[in-house]
Structures are given as C-alpha cells and as structure tokens.
C-alpha cells in the first residue's frame, strides 16, 4: 500500500472519529460547567485556571493517534465542539471556531511528521501546540483587557503544560488502554501496541 492509500479515510475511520467527537462533545459540556464553577478556587491566581485546559484537547490527539489520517485532529475537535454547542455550551457558536483552532494546533504537529510519527513525544508536542493555539486564542478573544505579564503569559504557560500532559500523554494512555482491549485491531494503533 502506498502512502497516499494509507491517507484515505475508510468508513471505519469516519465512524471512530465521529464516536470520539460525540463522546467528547458531552465531556466538553460537563467540563464547561466545571470550568465556569472553578473561578472561586482559582481566585487567588486566576491564570492558574488553565491547568484544567488539557481535557478540551484530548479528542484531537486521541483521534490523530487512532485514525492516523490527515484532518483527523481538526475534524474530531471541531465536531466535538459543535456537539457541546448543541448541548448548550455557555460559549455559544464561538466554541466551534475555538475547537477548530485547537484542532489545527494538534494537526500541525502530526502534519509536520507527514502523519508518519505517532509516538508519545509526537502526541505530547501535538497537545502542547494545540494548547498554545487554544490559549493564545483565549488571551486575544476572551481576555482582551488583561495584562500580558500578570495574566496572559502565565495563563498560556499553564494551559500549554496541561495540554502536553493531559491531552498529549493522556491520549497516549487512552490509546494504549483501548488497544489492549482489542477494539482498535482494525487500526495501526491496535496493531502497533508497542509504538503508541
């Protein structure tokens, strides 16, 4: 099979990406509620709230690791965000654009490897890059009047670290757990259990 064939989406790829997206769309809505309710605990240092960020990028990294096709991260993250909007996201339709931005950040790292590297380091870097895109978007759109030094830069730094650990390495752990059950046997991630 040449590389172009391996980049073609199969029906099973679409189904799995869709299941991940819908599942995490529900998770996103629950996480939106938790995020909104966490202002108080983080009042002592508001930028630290972004340590919670990584959960929002898990589907992008997870889909990229399992489906391993161009566009998997972008599509899954955008659809998951759209599902959260349908479920009543407090961020409204802007959450769909934000999901696309997050997915693009993750997608960029896998694209840079020409969709050939799916190691934990790649996943961690993809999570971090998605986190950078996402928190930069936040800093510019949601927190326009805040200080770069006392709020935005720390917020971005904590968010990137969260996405590296939770979205990047968390998606690696999830992929391994799923592969060990055998449900990913129709995917390279299921066949290369030692690689992810």
Contact indicator for 40, 75 with CB cutoff of 8 Å: no
Read off the pLDDT band of 4 (50, 70, 90): low
Q: Which domains are assigned to the chain?
A: 3-191 (1.10.1760)
Predicted TM-score (pTM) of the model is 0.94
Q: What is the pLDDT of residue 5?
A: 64
DSSP per residue over 131-173, as a string?
A: HHHHHHHHHHHT-TTS-IIIIIHHHHHHHHHHIIIIIIIHHHH
Q: What is the mean pLDDT of residues 59-84?
A: 97
Read off the pLDDT band of 188 (50, 70, 90): confident
């Amino acid at each position: 099979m040449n590389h172009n064939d391996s980049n073609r989406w199969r029906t099973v790829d679409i189904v799995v990406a869709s299941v991940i997206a819908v599942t995490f769309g529900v998770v996103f809505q629950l996480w939106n509620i938790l995020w909104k309710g966490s202002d108080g605990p983080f009042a002592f240092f508001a930028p630290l709230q972004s340590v919670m960020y990584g959960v929002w990028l898990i589907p992008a990294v997870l889909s990229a690791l399992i489906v391993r096709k161009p566009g998997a991260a972008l599509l899954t993250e955008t659809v998951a965000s759209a599902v959260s909007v349908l479920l009543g996201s407090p961020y409204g339709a802007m959450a769909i654009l934000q999901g696309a931005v997050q997915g693009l950040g993750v997608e960029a790292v896998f694209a840079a490897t020409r969709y050939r590297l799916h190691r934990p380091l790649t996943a961690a870097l993809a999570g971090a890059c998605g986190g950078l895109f996402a928190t930069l978007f936040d800093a510019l759109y949601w927190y326009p009047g805040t200080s770069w030094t006392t709020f935005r830069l720390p917020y971005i730094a904590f968010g990137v670290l969260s996405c590296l650990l939770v979205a990047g390495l968390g998606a690696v752990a999830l992929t391994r757990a799923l592969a060990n059950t055998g449900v990913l046997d129709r995917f390279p991630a299921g066949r290369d259990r030692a690689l992810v």
